[in-house]
Each structure stands twice: as structure tokens, then as C-alpha cells.
Amino acid sequence: MFIMGSFIGCGKQKVTAAGEESQSTDAIQGEGKGNISMSGSTSMEKLANALAESFMAAHPGVTVTAEFTGSSAGVEAVMAGNVDIGNSSRALKESEKETGAVENIVAIDGIAVVVDPTNTVKTLTKQQLIDIYQGKIRYWHEIGGSNFPVVVIGREAGSGTRNAFEEILGIRDSCFYASELDSTGTVMAKVASVPGAIGYVSLDVINNTVSTVALDGVEPTAENIKAGSYLLSRPFVMATKGEIGEQNKLIQEFFNYLGTEEGKAIISGVGLIIPD
Amino acid sequence: MEIQKDLTIMGSNKNKSAAEKTAQSVFTVSALIAVMAVASITIYMIINGTPALFQVGADKLLFGTKWAPGALEPSYGILYIILTSLIGTTLAVLLGVPMGVLTAVFLSEMASKRVAAIVKPAVELLAGIPSVIYGLLGLMILNPLMYKLEMKLFMGSETHRFTGGANLISAVIVLAIMILPTVINISQSAIQAVPIHMRAASEALGASKIQTIFKVVLPAAKSGIITAVVLGVGRAIGEAMAISLVSGSAVNLPLPFNSVRFLTTAIVSEMGYAADTHRQVLFTIGLVLFAFIMFINISLTRILKKGEHNHD
């Protein structure tokens, strides 16, 4: 029912697979036609849409649909058989794995903490970062820096980067921002131009207009994030009900596609790190 | 000959009435489109803006002070946002209107033709500059200046949250400059419409130029100047792009050195990712803004009607 459900509504193969019932999965698998549905994390919207678009371009006749309802809802939907893939922007919980959800990490999202280039503070502990964002540390000299005040820059409510940052640090909605900006670019510009500013951005946009800060002594690099030693990172999971090998051909093909050069280019194109 | 003439007249009458009818329906349709646009916007805003009032509770939404739409227990208080728009607009008008009216007086009463030929186009150019440019200039020039001032005033303070210069004052200054062209242009036409004989009478009675301007010309141009003020308020309260760049966009009590969020920027900055109740609350903010603008327009119409009355 789960597999059948995902192909209902595909009118095309009525024409192509003549004489067969539209719900016949064999015909679909053989010809690479059909429908992949996924739902889940809003943070994965960019990735899911980019992958859906390019996969559909590479496989004419296949429709990939994606809904963005939140990580937990996504995993629930895949386990209930409503969708083929459940997107989750966090590692699956043990309770979810027990029900049979399989954690396929397709990408890793890294968040870098940035300060203006004149700032002498090069490393922060997790606690210092929390104190800065909760307004307990107000001047850089309190943590061995210059005499400038701390100007706390963040993203607007609802931003995936903000959610990830606050969730990983455990300070969800207890931050005091001086500026809540609505794009990564404006955060970068603001941090670069205001002495004493601190902000957070996706790892891929870092350039030399700002300095990155090491967290607990770990630099925000792709290597450290892959090794799991950098604090501000999270996996992007495309959960399936059972192993990938147990899925239908089309979904297997989709996961194969993620491993191809083209698939990898899309993952890094939306600013994510490819897991080993 | 005569018959032919009759026929042509008959023919042209027919053509004429067809053309008249077509023109009339084209005009009617055009007028209807404008009316329909206003009506559908109003209906749309009310349909989309009211559900959140019931979901969240009107008092919690309109008079709540905590804006935390992403929290586990979300809170949607927009009082600070409303206050920011009201106070920010008021201050911008207090700053921009005297400047604008005095410029208008200068242009129409004092300036020599050569000077006016430079100032007048400059003012008109100011009106044509896109708002994002005002925002960028504010970001590059005003914010760093404000940051310096902020550091001078609050250095060592344990309670002040440093904003890096993105604060209410920056937004007010940008708004004040943005309403200048509106205020100047409308006040100037009002001042120029004051009949020359009133000025002549005043000066003939021995009043000085300045006395004439403040005691005769400005009172006579009052209704036009009020129109300028109201339109300025409308422009200021509806502006989003420029202030989103300079105000910091954090929800705070509108104090001069606080980072603040206006009604317009509240919608712009969070629409991208908002969902469910959060999204509906943004529509409610839109409805509040819409109500303000409607109120401004209605009072404008009243003022204009009253002005006409006075002239009679």
C-alpha cells in the first residue's frame, strides 16, 4: 500500500505502459516513471527543491514533490506511509529508529560564528557564546578582547539557520538580538562593518570580510564538521521506512543520484557539506 | 444634395453614438477595476487578518509585548511594533514637516529665480529616488555615526544593549528625509495659491516680509499644508524598504537608541519563512497597518472637504 500509494495519480504511464493498470509498480520501476514524495524539515527546503528539480530534469516522466512540515512531522509521515522520504534536519531519535525509520544522512549543515575582522577574540567556549547571545557578556574585554561593546546580530524568527543555532546551543528564543536581519548577506555585511559585532551564517558564505571564531578551540572547517568535532553542525537526514535497498527502484535511483557528481554538486551548491 | 447631407448626418450620428457608448463602457470598466482593486484588497486583508485575532486573542496580540513566534510556546504580542510605527512616524513628521514647510516658503516667497531653479529640481529629484537608496545611505552613513554616538553615551553601561547604530533615531531621520519632497511640493503649491493681493495688503499695512509670511500666507495656505502633513504621515507609515535597512528590526520598546521594528518591516522580514499562526499574525499586522492608512486617508478627505467649505 505504501508503494502503491506513492504512484497513484501518475497519469502518464497509462499512455506509456499500454495495457497495464496505472497502479502497477512493476511497469513503473522498469521504465523509470513515477512519483517520489517527501515531506519534513523546513530547513531542508532549499536542498529538497534543488534536488527535486534536477532529478526531474534528469529523469523525464518522474515527479518529485516536497512538502515542508517540520522534521518530526516528516519522519511521522514516512513511517505512516504517506510519503516516500521523510526529511529531518536533525539526527533521528532512538524512538524513531525503533519504529523502523532508517537514517540516511545526505548532507551536513554547518553554521559559522563570525565577528568583524578587527576583533581580537579568535576562540569562544560554548558557554561564552551562549552568554553573549543571552546578553550576559556585553563587552569584548570581559572575555579578553578589545574595548568594544558586543553587538549581537541574528536572523529573523523562522529562519532555519536561527532555529539550528538556537537549538544546538539550547537557547531557543532566549536570545537578545540587536539586529534581526532577514538574509545571510545582510548579516555578513553588518558584521563586516560594525566593530564589535558578532553573527552566525551558513558555513559556505564565509569570505575574508569577516573573521570566523573557533568554538571550544575547533575551527569551523568542512573537515572538523565531517569529523563531528565542531559544535554548530547538524545532519540533514532523508529518512526511509526500512533500508534504501528495500525501497522501490525509483527511490533507490534517487539515493544513487545523490552520490553522483551531479547530485554532489547540488548539495554543495546549496551550501552544504557532503558526508563521507 | 439635401438627402445626401441628411444621410451623412444620420450616419455620423450613429457612429458618434457607438463611439460614445464604447468610450463610456471603457471608462466605466477602468473605474470599476480601481474600485474592485480597493474592495478586493480590503476584503482580502480582513479575511486573512482576522483569524489570528481569534486564534491568539485580540488583547494578547494587540497589547502583548513579547514577540516570539518561533518559541515552543509562541507569543505574538505586537504592541511594541505598533508603538514603534506610531512614535517613529510622529517623530519623522515633527522633524520633516517644519523643514519641508520652511523650504516651501523659501522656494515660493524668498528665493531668487536662479536659486529656485536649482532647489526646485533638486527637491523633485529627491522624490524620485527609490527608497532602498535612502536605506543604503542610512546604513552606510547614519548607522556608523549613531554607533559612535551610542558608544560615547552608553560605554560601560550594564543595561544598554548595543545596536551598532541601527536604532529608532536612524529610522526617524531617514523617514524625515523621505517625506520632505511630498511636504515641500504640496505646501509650495498651497502657498503659491494664496492670492497676491493678500500679501500686498499685508505689506501695505506695514508688515514686514517675515510677518506677512507667518501671519498671512501660511494661515491662508493652512488646509494645503495640512494635506501635505497627512500625505507625509501616509508615506512614512507605509515605508518598509529603507527602514528595514537602518532600524535593526529587533522588537523592542521604541526608545531612541533601541533597535526597533515597524509594522511594515515586521511583515517584510518574516514573511519568507512564516507558517500557520505566525503567517496569519503577519496578515493581522498588515490589517493594522491597513487600518492606520485608511484612517489617515479618511481624515485627509475630511480636511480637504472642510478646506473647500472655508473657501466658499
Please state the domain extents for chain A: 4-108+235-269, 110-233
Q: What percent of chain A has pLDDT over 70?
A: 88
Q: What is the pLDDT of residues B42-87, one digit of tens each?
A: 999 999 999 999 989 999 999 999 998 877 788 999 999 999 999 9
Q: Kindly determine whether residue B69 and residue A177, on different chains, have CB atoms separated by under 8 Å.
A: no
User: What does the pLDDT average to over A12-29?
Assistant: 39
Q: Kindly determine whether residue B164 and residue A159, on different chains, have CB atoms separated by under 8 Å.
A: no
Among the partner-chain residues B164, B244, B261, the one whose CB lies closest to the CB of A197 is B164
Q: Kindly determine whether residue B164 and residue A156, on different chains, have CB atoms separated by under 8 Å.
A: no
Contacts of residue B268 in chain A, CB cutoff 8 Å? 182
pLDDT at A19 over 80: no
What is the predicted ipTM? 0.76
Whole-number pLDDT of residue A158:
75
Q: What are residue B158's phi and psi, to 5 degrees?
A: -95, -10
Residue B308 pLDDT grade (very low, low, confident, very high; cuts 50, 70, 90): low
Task: Determine how many CB atoms are found less than 10 A away from the CB of residue B19.
Answer: 10
Q: Is the Cβ of B250 closer than 8 Å to some Cβ of chain A?
A: yes
- Is residue A172 within 8 A of residue A178, CB to CB? The reply is no
Give the three-state DSSP class for B123.
Answer: helix
pLDDT at B12 over 90: no
| A4-108+235-269 and A110-233, same CATH topology | yes
Q: What are residue A87's phi and psi, to 5 degrees?
A: -85, 130
- Measure the CA–CA gap between B163 and A150, rounded to whole angstroms: 9
pLDDT at A3 over 50: no
More confident residue, A229 or B5: A229
Mean pLDDT of chain B: 88
User: What does the pLDDT average to over B99-103?
Assistant: 94
Among the partner-chain residues A42, A162, A180, the one whose CB lies closest to the CB of B249 is A180
Q: Kindly determine whether residue A176 and residue B161, on different chains, have CB atoms separated by under 8 Å.
A: yes
- H or E stretch covering A185: helix A184-193
Q: Kindly determine whether residue B164 and residue A172, on different chains, have CB atoms separated by under 8 Å.
A: no
Q: Is the Cβ of B65 closer than 8 Å to some Cβ of chain A?
A: no
Whole-number pLDDT of residue A141:
92
- What is the rounded radius of gyration, in angstroms, for the C-alpha atoms of chain A? 22
- Looking at chain B, how many residues does it have? 312
CA distances (Å), origin B212, targets B115, B193, B200, B201, B217: 21, 15, 9, 9, 6
CA distance to partner chain A, nearest, from residue B128 (Å) = 25
Whole-number pLDDT of residue B185:
93
CA distance to partner chain A, nearest, from residue B161 (Å) = 7
Q: Is the Cβ of A192 closer than 8 Å to some Cβ of chain B?
A: no
Whole-number pLDDT of residue A234:
86
Of the candidates B60, B4, B19, B26, the one whose C-alpha atom is nearest the C-alpha of residue B277 is B60
Contacts of residue A178 in chain B, CB cutoff 8 Å? 161-164, 166, 248, 250, 259
Q: What is the pLDDT of residues A37-92, one digit of tens each?
A: 999 887 788 899 999 999 999 998 899 999 888 788 888 899 999 999 999 888 88
Going from the N-terminus, what domains does chain B have, and what CATH number goes with each?
Answer: 78-311 (1.10.3720.10)
Q: Is the Cβ of B72 closer than 8 Å to some Cβ of chain A?
A: yes
Q: Is the Cβ of A31 closer than 8 Å to some Cβ of chain B?
A: no
Contacts of residue A157 in chain B, CB cutoff 8 Å? 67-70, 270, 274, 278
CA distances (Å), origin A272, targets A33, A45, A181: 29, 13, 21
Whole-number pLDDT of residue A46:
85
More confident residue, A22 or B34: B34
Give the CATH superfamily of A4-108+235-269. Periplasmic binding protein-like II (3.40.190.10)
Cell representation of residue A89: 534536519
- Is residue A196 within 8 A of residue A150, CB to CB? The reply is yes
Whole-number pLDDT of residue B309:
60
Q: Kindly determine whether residue A138 and residue B273, on different chains, have CB atoms separated by under 8 Å.
A: no
User: What does the pLDDT average to over A207-216?
Assistant: 92
pTM for this prediction = 0.77
Give the three-state DSSP class for A85.
Answer: strand
Q: What is the pLDDT of residues B189-244, one digit of tens each?
A: 999 999 999 999 999 999 999 999 999 999 999 888 988 998 899 999 999 989 98
Q: State the CATH architecture for A110-233.
A: 3-Layer(aba) Sandwich (3.40)
Whole-number pLDDT of residue B9:
52
Mean pLDDT of chain A: 84
More confident residue, B310 or A85: A85
Contacts of residue B158 in chain A, CB cutoff 8 Å? 138
Contacts of residue B249 in chain A, CB cutoff 8 Å? 156, 179-182
Q: Is the Cβ of A163 closer than 8 Å to some Cβ of chain B?
A: yes
More confident residue, A204 or A259: A259
- Is residue A139 within 8 A of residue A148, CB to CB? The reply is yes
CA distance to partner chain B, nearest, from residue A255 (Å) = 27
pLDDT at A14 over 60: no
Whole-number pLDDT of residue A72:
84
Q: Is the Cβ of B131 closer than 8 Å to some Cβ of chain A?
A: no
Closest residue in B to A182 (Cα–Cα): B269
Whole-number pLDDT of residue A163:
84
Give the three-state DSSP class for A172.
Answer: coil
Whole-number pLDDT of residue B11:
55
Q: Kindly determine whether residue A194 and residue B147, on different chains, have CB atoms separated by under 8 Å.
A: yes
Q: What is the pLDDT of residues B260-272, one digit of tens each?
A: 999 999 998 888 7
Contacts across the A-B interface (CB distance below 8 Å): 93
- Measure the CA–CA gap between A101 and A109, rounded to whole angstroms: 21
Of the candidates A36, A39, A35, the one whose C-alpha atom is nearest the C-alpha of residue A79 is A39
Residue B149 pLDDT grade (very low, low, confident, very high; cuts 50, 70, 90): very high
Residue of B162, B262, B277, B278 to mutate, testing the A interface (most A Cβ within 10 Å of its Cβ):
B162
Q: What percent of chain B has pLDDT over 70?
A: 93
